[in-house]
Amino acid sequence: MSDSVLREKSKEFAKKIVFTTKRIKEKDKEWVLTEQLLRSGTSVGANIHEAQYAHGRADFISKLEIALKECFESEYWLELMFETGYLEEKEFKLLIGECGLIRKMLVNSCKTAKENKTKPTKC
Segment 20-59, tens digit of pLDDT: 999 999 999 999 999 999 999 999 999 999 999 999 999 9
Contact at 8 Å (CB) between 10 and 48? yes
Res. 122 pLDDT band, cuts 50 70 90: low
- The DSSP string of 58-76 is HHHHHHHHHHHHHHHHHHH
In the prediction, which pLDDT does 118 show? 57
Cα-flanking dihedrals φ and ψ of residue 74, to 5°? -60, -40
Q: Which helix (H) or strand (E) holds 93?
A: helix 89-115
pLDDT at 123 over 80: no
Say what the pLDDT of residue 81 is.
Answer: 98
pLDDT > 70? residue 15: yes
Percentages (nearest 5) of helix, strand, coil residues in the chain = 80, 0, 20
Q: What is the dotted CATH code of the domain comprising 5-114?
A: 1.20.1440.60
What is the per-residue pLDDT across 59-99, written as a single tens digit (0 to 9) for each? Answer: 999 999 999 999 999 999 999 999 999 999 999 999 999 99
Three-class SS state of 116: coil
Tell me the percentage of the chain whose pLDDT exceeds 70.
92
Decide if 95 contacts 87 (C-beta within 8 A): yes
pLDDT over 60 (residue 120): no
Q: Rounded CA gap, 65 and 114, in Å?
A: 11
- Specify whether the CB–CB gap between 70 and 44 falls below 8 A: yes
